[in-house]
Amino acid sequence: MIVTQAQTLTLLAALILVSGAAALVWTSLAFTARIAPRASLTVASANAATALALALHALRGTLPDALAYWPGDVLAVAAFALLGAAVPAVTMRRLIWKPGAAVVAACALTLAALPYDGDLRWQARLVNAAGAGLALTAGLAAWRSLGRWASGRRTPAPLALPLLLIAALMAARCAESFVHPGAAPDLRLPTGFNLGFLWASLVLVLLQNATLAFLVLMRLILRIEHLLDRDPLTDTLNRRAFDQSLALAHARFGRGRGYALVMIDMDRFKQLNDTLGHAAGDAALRQMVKELQPCLREVDRFGRLGGEEFCVLLPDTGLAGAALVAERMRCLIDATPLRWLEQDWPLSASFGIAEARPGDSGPDAVLARADAALYRAKHQGRNVVQG
């Protein structure tokens, strides 16, 4: 097959246009639509760096060497570093930029020490090796983080595959520089390898942007699901979501897995609201929820049933275990008064506990016993645990 320079230049131009267009789209998502702004801006920067690096490469011999060579190579490495930072920015909302920045800085200093005249094979090897390393590291990290992020959902870790393919492509180009060192530094040369490399790069740029767009969409969906399940004031489960968890626990109880409930009601909450105002009451509820978090396991479910009444679902726990948890919770609330308008307001709560029994017709029976125990705790003087 005869490869012409027009073919390589056309593909190079297509890569520049696609990367530039992707940068504009992601920038619009960040600033206009306000969709995952930090993650979208990171992806936009990666695409912009790619487009500019390729444009500078295409203009070698036209622009002054000081503008076309060293800046283009540094931008190419920066593009891979930004791409590596994009996935955790999407999945974990963390912009992990320092390792990539260190690689870019090291490459920039090394490239500045290399002469940009005559043989440029070592510059090409450094850029391609750095790109392969950054993409591989990002791909492996993405594989792990996507597995954790999905948490049982149908979001497969292989969505990180485009990054691994990019790493393989850059590694192949680095290896090719040892086989054909004269042709490796220039993507414009009409060689079969350059043609295949540019086609693969074009496909992977499209695939990577599509994958990141899908991950942003998944992040939005998960956020909406979170908001639908959560109480807006305390960020505990709302009544609907808690009832679903309780029904699931009772279904498991039928298969031999017990559970217990801890009902919680803040004492003298109306008095607090009437004296300090509803804003103080909201602050007291948020503080109570925060104080109780260390008592909860990952499998436990903490929900707000309404007003100042909450309930904790403790899977695989009996009445004795629920009593220990409730007593610890009671002590934590009692030990931390609400600080409001330069004064301390004492907080306490009453607790009712119950466990599932074989004769229970459904979860409502367990909930009713816990509520009755809470009623007894209130009438015993409050700030006690009753079962």
**pLDDT digit string (tens) for 238-281?**
999 999 999 999 999 988 899 999 999 999 999 999 899 999 99
Task: Give the span between the Cα atoms of 247 and 226, in whole angstroms.
Answer: 19
Q: Mean pLDDT highest for which of 92-101, 141-150, 375-384?
A: 375-384
Domain chopping of the chain, boundaries: 5-227, 239-386
The residue ranking higher by pLDDT, 105 or 227, is 105
As annotated, the active-site residues are: 308
Query: How does pLDDT run across 307-327, given as a tens digit for each residue?
Result: 999 999 999 999 999 999 999
Fold type of domain 239-386: Alpha-Beta Plaits (3.30.70)
Residue 157 pLDDT more than 70?
A: no
- Give the count of beta carbons closer than 10 Å to the beta carbon of residue 240: 10
At 240 the pLDDT is 93
At 299 the pLDDT is 93
Residue 148 pLDDT more than 70?
A: no
Sign of the four-CA dihedral 109, 113, 118, 122: negative
**Contact indicator for 77, 31 with CB cutoff of 8 Å:** no
**Cβ burial, residue 276 (10 Å; 0-12/13-18/19+):** middle
DSSP secondary structure, 122-134, as one string: HHHHHHHHHHHHH
Q: Which residues contact 118 (CB under 8 A, 6 or more apart)?
A: none
At 247, list the tokens: 């029904």
**Contact indicator for 40, 216 with CB cutoff of 8 Å:** yes
Query: How does pLDDT run across 267-277, given as a tens digit for each residue?
Result: 999 999 989 99
In angstroms, the first-to-last Cα distance of the chain is: 83
Q: Which residues contact 231 (CB under 8 A, 6 or more apart)?
A: 237, 238, 303, 304
Task: Give the span between the Cα atoms of 132 and 138, in whole angstroms.
Answer: 10
At 326 the pLDDT is 95
The CATH architecture to which 5-227 belongs is Up-down Bundle (1.20)
At 154 the pLDDT is 53
Task: Give the span between the Cα atoms of 111 and 132, in whole angstroms.
Answer: 17
Query: How does pLDDT run across 326-378, given as a tens digit for each residue?
Result: 999 999 999 999 999 888 899 999 999 999 999 888 999 999 999 999 999 99
- Write the single-letter amino acid at 47: N
Residue 21 pLDDT more than 70?
A: yes
Longest CA span, the chain: 93
